[in-house]
Amino acid sequence: MNSLCPVVKWAGGKRWLVGQHTNYFPTKYDRLVEPFLGGASVFLKLAPKKALLADLNSDLITTYKGIRDNWSAIEKGLKRHQLLHSKDYYYEVRGQAPTNPIEIAIRFLYLNRTCWNGLYRVNKKGIFNVPIGTKTNVLLPSDDFASFSVRLKKGVRLISQSYKQTLQMVKKTDFVYIDPPYTVNHNQNGFLKYNESIFSWEDQLKLREAVENVALLGAKIIISQANHPSIEELYQDIGSSRVVTRHSVIGPRKEHRKNIEELLLSVNC
């Protein structure tokens, strides 16, 4: 089955990773588990027969469920936003708080595609506050909501919860792909400031402990992390590591947009 394109733009998305380094991923496992789903690039590329896809961002999971259950309504809503899109309209929609799951999904995708760099950020009250960006296309040539819907219906469970809860559901026959927010400043890529208040170094330590528990089950694990001495030290006694390179497009200045290195950690693979 051909891979589909992600429908959301996600800071730290892994489309580049599965496009260039698919050979690093295991091929034999019963179920894919992703506790930090984000843009779902790994799921879309691997197209597993079974998957547990989770993220703490409830609006993101609601969006995927909306595509799964009523993709045509999502597409129709985005067409409406495309016709009405303007600076004033963007901020009008940003200020809304729909409660209907389909409307939540439509708003989420509209804002994601027209905000600055596709960044997802909320204030202390949990309100989305990213300014309008330069992109004006609400519907994209790569959109295939119908096929995405089919993919999400086949053996897939979508759930909004913490990574701790998700990792507690792992079985020894699973393959777990872990892509947490990066919390160390590496190669001046400017990524830290988008995540430091969300995922602290203490959270990294707790994640490391949870990974060890999953590893003891025998499950296969791959973890994407910042290529930084503190991360290497944190995982030095579990699995193996390799450095992979990607091009950063996140950051307000050109010096933040260049080739940077990431660490790929493999356990039981």
CATH at residue 35: 3.40.50.150
Beta carbons of 67 and 25 less than 8 angstroms apart: no
Separation in Å, CA 196 to CA 12, 207, 235 = 14, 15, 20
- What confidence score (pLDDT) does residue 121 get? 86
What's the CATH code of the domain at 76? 1.10.1020.10
Is 228 within a domain? yes
CA 170/CA 33 separation, integer angstroms: 7
Q: Do both 50 and 129 map to the same domain?
A: no
Q: What is the dihedral of CA 111, 113, 114, 115, to 10 degrees?
A: 70
- What confidence score (pLDDT) does residue 2 get? 59
Q: Do both 43 and 74 map to the same domain?
A: no
Q: Residue 220: CB partners within 8 Å, gap ≥ 6? A: 26, 29, 174, 175, 176, 267, 268, 269
Is 125 within a domain? yes
Q: Please state, rounded to an integer, the average pLDDT across all residues of the chain.
A: 89
Q: Do both 167 and 51 map to the same domain?
A: yes
Q: Do both 108 and 82 map to the same domain?
A: yes
| Per-residue model confidence as pLDDT tens digits over 27-40 | 999 999 999 999 99
Q: Among 34-48, 155-169, 228-242, which is the least confidently predicted range?
A: 228-242
pLDDT band for position 185 (cuts 50, 70, 90)? very low
Q: Do both 215 and 202 map to the same domain?
A: yes
Q: Which domain-ending residue is among 90, 120, 152? A: 152
Q: 261 or 208: whose pLDDT is higher?
A: 208
Is 6 within a domain? no
Q: Which domain-ending residue is among 120, 152, 184? A: 152
| Per-residue model confidence as pLDDT tens digits over 209-239 | 999 999 999 999 999 998 999 999 999 999 9
Q: Do both 214 and 87 map to the same domain?
A: no
Give me the mean pLDDT over the 32-52 stretch: 97
| Per-residue model confidence as pLDDT tens digits over 248-266 | 655 555 555 567 789 999 9
Q: Which two tokens stand for residue 92?
A: 């009008």
Is 254 within a domain? yes
Domain that includes residue 24, residue range: 15-56+161-267
Q: Do both 72 and 139 map to the same domain?
A: yes
Is 130 within a domain? yes
> How many domains does the chain fold into?
2
Q: Which domain-ending residue is among 116, 133, 152? A: 152
Beta bridge partners of 133: none
Say whether pLDDT at 186 is over 50: no
Beta carbons of 267 and 220 less than 8 angstroms apart: yes
Q: Residue 210: CB partners within 8 Å, gap ≥ 6? A: 163, 164, 167
Whole-prediction pTM: 0.90
- What confidence score (pLDDT) does residue 187 get? 40
